[in-house]
Amino acid sequence: MNKQIQLLIKIVLVLLIVFLLYQLSFLFKPFIAALNFLFVPVVFALLFYYLLKHLMRKFEKKFSHKLSVIFTFLIFVLVLILIIGSFGFFFVNQFDELGEVATEQYEQYQEDPGKLIPGFLEEYINVTEIESAVTSRLNDLTGWLQENFSQVFTKITEIPTQLVLVPFLIFYLLMDGHNFYEKFRNFVPYSQRARFVEGIERVDSVLSVYVKGQIIVAFFTGLGMLIVYFIAGIPLAPVLGIFAMITSLVPFIGPIIGVIPAIIIGLGQGGWTVLQIIIGTLIVQQLEGDFISPKVLGGKLKIHPLTIIVLIMLAVTIYGIIGAFVAIPAYAAIREIAKIFYRDYKNDKKRKYHQ
C-alpha cells in the first residue's frame, strides 16, 4: 500500500478517536475534576520535594533511608512552625493594613487624579482617559466575579483541603520516590530501559536546577524590590517586597503582578512615586536577567524568551497562575525527553543507511 495512503488512514483514525472521546467527554468529568483538585497540591509537593531532597541525601550518608526521611521531614515541619509562629500573625496584620492603605491611597487618587502624573508629563498624558480605562477594567472584573461567584467560592473552599494534602505528599515522595522510579522502570520494556533511565536523570537534573534557581532568583528580586520601595517611600515596604518575591517565582508575568499593589499605594502619593516604582522595577528586572539568572540557572535551560512568553500565556489561559509556574519546567522536561528520542532516531537512521 502507498505510504501516503497509510499516513492518511492513520490521520483519519486519530481524528476519529479524538471525535469519539469528545462525544464521551461526560464520562471523564469526574476524573478531570479529581486531577484539577490534585494539581495544585502535587505542584507544591514537588516544589518542596526538590528543595528537601538534597538535605535527605546528606542524611543518607550517615543514616538509613527511613531515618533520613524522618529527620528531613521533621526539620521541614519545625521550620514551617517556626516561620508561622514567628511571622504568621505579623504578616496577617500587615496584609490587612496593606488592604486598608491601598484603599485609602486609591481614594486619595480619585479625589485628585492629577497627582498621578508628574508636572513635566501633564501635557503628554491624558489623566481622564487613563481613569476611564481603569474604571472600565474594574467594572469588567466585578461583572465577571458576579457571574462566576459559585466557581470562585468553590475554588476558595478547596484551598484548605489542598494545603492539608501537601505535607503528606511531600513525606511519601521523600519516602517512596525511589520506589515509584523502580516500578516505572520495571514496567518499561527492557530494550527501552536505558533510554528511560537517561530521560529520568535528565528531567530530574533540569527540575532541580529550575526549582533551586527560581527560588534564588525570586529571593534577590524580592530584595531588590524591597530596596526600591524604601527609596520610593511607600508604606508596608517589607510586605510588598515579600509579595514581589513570591510572585517572581513565575517568570515574566510574576514581577508585573508583584508590583501592582505597590503602584496602587503609590497612586495616592503622586505620579513621581509611581514613576520611581516603575523605573526601579525595570532596573531590578534588568539586573536579574543580565546577572542573577545566568549565574544561578547557568546554560542548562537555554529557553528563548519568546518561547517562555508564549508558554506562560498559554499556561495562564489554561490553568491560571499555577499553570504559569509549571509551564517552563514542564516544557524543559518534555524537551529533554524529545532530545533523547530525536538523537536515537537519527542514530537509527544512520545505522540503517550504513547497513
pLDDT higher than 80, residue 297: no
Tell me the chain's radius of gyration from C-alpha atoms. 25
Q: What is the mean pLDDT of residues 325-343?
A: 86
Q: Which residues contact 266 (CB under 8 A, 6 or more apart)?
A: 105, 232, 234, 273, 274, 276, 277
- The neighbour count for residue 262, using CB atoms within 10 Å, is 29
Quote the CA–CA distance of 100 and 304 in Å, as a whole number.
41
Question: Of 155 and 82, which is predicted with more confidence?
Answer: 82
User: Which pLDDT value is given to residue 134?
Assistant: 63
- Using the Cα atoms of residue 65, residue 66, residue 67 and residue 72 in order, give the sign of their dihedral: positive
Is residue 178 a part of any domain in this protein? Answer: yes
Is residue 7 a part of any domain in this protein? Answer: no
Domains of the chain: total: 1
Cell matching residue 134: 481603569
Is residue 145 a part of any domain in this protein? Answer: no
Quote the CA–CA distance of 273 and 118 in Å, as a whole number.
9
Quote the CA–CA distance of 258 and 224 in Å, as a whole number.
12
Quote the CA–CA distance of 81 and 75 in Å, as a whole number.
10
Is residue 14 a part of any domain in this protein? Answer: no
Q: Which residues contact 136 (CB under 8 A, 6 or more apart)?
A: none
- The neighbour count for residue 71, using CB atoms within 10 Å, is 17
Is residue 163 a part of any domain in this protein? Answer: no
The distance from CA 60 to its chain's CA centroid, rounded to whole angstroms, is: 30
Q: Which residues contact 169 (CB under 8 A, 6 or more apart)?
A: 41, 42, 45
Per the CB < 8 A criterion, the answer to whether 215 and 249 are in contact is yes
Quote the CA–CA distance of 130 and 115 in Å, as a whole number.
13
Quote the CA–CA distance of 35 and 38 in Å, as a whole number.
5
Is residue 254 a part of any domain in this protein? Answer: yes
Phi then psi dihedrals of residue 221, to 5 deg? -65, -45
Q: Which residues contact 107 (CB under 8 A, 6 or more apart)?
A: 268
pLDDT in tens, 64-81: 989 999 999 999 999 988
Per the CB < 8 A criterion, the answer to whether 36 and 158 are in contact is no
pLDDT in tens, 211-244: 888 888 889 999 999 999 999 888 778 888 888 8
- Mean per-residue pLDDT of the chain: 78
Give residue 223's domain range: 39-83+95-139+168-344
Q: How much of the chain is in helix, strand and coil states, percent to nearest 5?
A: 90, 0, 10
Q: Which residue has the cell 516544557?
A: 331
Is residue 102 a part of any domain in this protein? Answer: yes
User: Which pLDDT value is given to residue 215?
Assistant: 87
Is residue 6 a part of any domain in this protein? Answer: no
Least confident of 145-154, 156-165, 274-283: 145-154
User: Which pLDDT value is given to residue 116?
Assistant: 56
Q: pTM for this structure?
A: 0.72
Which range, 17-31, 58-72, 147-161, 182-196, is most confident?
A: 58-72
